[in-house]
Amino acid sequence: MSAELADLAGRVVPVLAFLIAITVVAEIADAAGVFDVAAHWAARAGRQRVWVLWLLVVAIACVSTIVLSLDTTAVLLTPVAITVARQVGVATLPFAMTTLWLANTASLLLPVSNLTNLLALHRLGQLGVGQLGYLRLAWAPALAAIVATVLLLALRHRRALTGRYALESSPETHDRTLLVVASVCCIALGPAFVAGLTPWIPSAAAAAILVGTVLVRDRTLLRRVSVPWQMVIGVSVLFVVVDVAINHGLRELLTSLVGAGTGAGALLRVGGVGLLSANAVNNLPAYLALESVSSDAPVRLFALLIGVNVGPLITVWGSLATLLWRQRCRAAEVTVSTAYLAREGLVCAVVASAAALGALVLVR
């Protein structure tokens, strides 16, 4: 294996390990009833008003994405949002789209919020920018992207979010031991991620604990655990293809596309190329491909982050979070067409990315 591929594997394997581990956690947590109970609590906190309930989901989605990572929001919060909508008898689509869009657009503020941020933090460190410097660059674009997304969601789904709802008496009965263990594992992931641990390590530990508990309590539940091996293989192939292409002429093409400079137009150009590239091939390989030609200045690298974090809402494969979100929707028997995702996602990607890039230009 060449030195370049070895370096690529060192950066990519932890990402894929996190993807597998967090999926196992989500599948077992779902079977244990964590999402059912959490949805019931959220319905009670909504005070029988659909708008209040939706705003609660918005707040949880933002906090979850910022603190736990966008993939965690897509995997763990999406089933809660869908379940709570069903429990109170309102449309599931606004709640499902809320977790999808905010999983992506709220993922700028902290390094742990998005795996691309962790990759960028390494490069920013080489440019003399540490975590505090990252936060100084991130706070305004992150806030702008979130506000733009929430306003757009409220506008697009305003009719479905009106009215009141009635509460169900109680959630379904579940194995209490398994429910408690699964809940503790999900909650503990937050502090573990914030503490700076490499995301795959606490995720793998939580997955191992839950698998062990299921083997003791009810091993038949393991049949319901579906690991996205095809997704892992597909993303791995993409990483390798992009890495090979960079060393065989792609770097020169990308250099001409992203241009140079740190003016407003130059930053919008970098962010726009990042957005288009992420939707074309997936945001992680897109970031890796563009990092080497966009990281001559910290502000240019952050413009790229905005494009690959906020922008990949148009294609299903644009981000791992979208793929994981769709998997959770299918598991919950919620169907959202590819055409609808592309049409609505294009609007959100353009609006939220433009807001974030505009904020970066103002505060850089």
Concatenated DSSP letters for 176-244? Answer: HHHHHHHHHHHHHHHHHHHTT--THHHHHHHHHHHHHHHHHH-GGGGGG----HHHHHHHHHHHHHHHH
Q: What's the domain count of the chain?
A: 1
pLDDT value at residue 131: 75
- As a whole number of angstroms, the distance between CA 185 and CA 190 comes to 9
pLDDT value at residue 84: 85
Amino acid letter, 35: F
Is the sign of the CA dihedral 293, 298, 302, 305 positive or negative?
A: positive
Helix (H) or strand (E) holding 166: none
pLDDT value at residue 69: 78
pTM: 0.82
CA 326 to chain centroid, in Å, comes to: 12
Do the beta carbons of residue 193 and residue 118 sit within 8 Å?
no
Question: Burial of 48 by CB count in 10 Å (0-12 exposed, 13-18 middle, 19+ buried)?
Answer: middle
Question: Mean pLDDT per 10-residue run, the chain (364 residues)?
Answer: 65 78 82 79 82 90 83 84 86 94 92 83 80 86 97 94 77 81 86 73 91 89 78 76 73 76 89 93 86 83 94 92 89 90 96 96 85
pLDDT value at residue 209: 95
pLDDT value at residue 124: 82
Do the beta carbons of residue 277 and residue 342 sit within 8 Å?
no
Domain span at residue 276 reads 3-363
CA 194 to chain centroid, in Å, comes to: 16
Q: Alpha helix locations (H) across the chain?
A: 3-32, 34-45, 50-68, 70-72, 78-88, 93-105, 115-126, 131-156, 176-194, 200-217, 229-245, 251-258, 264-281, 283-294, 298-310, 320-331, 338-363
- What tokens does 136 get? 């100084």
Tell me the chain's radius of gyration from C-alpha atoms.
20
Residues 6+ apart with CB under 8 A from 53: 42, 43, 45, 46, 84, 88, 90, 165
- As a whole number of angstroms, the distance between CA 334 and CA 343 comes to 18
Q: What is the largest CA-CA distance in the chain?
A: 63
β-bridge partners, 49: 164
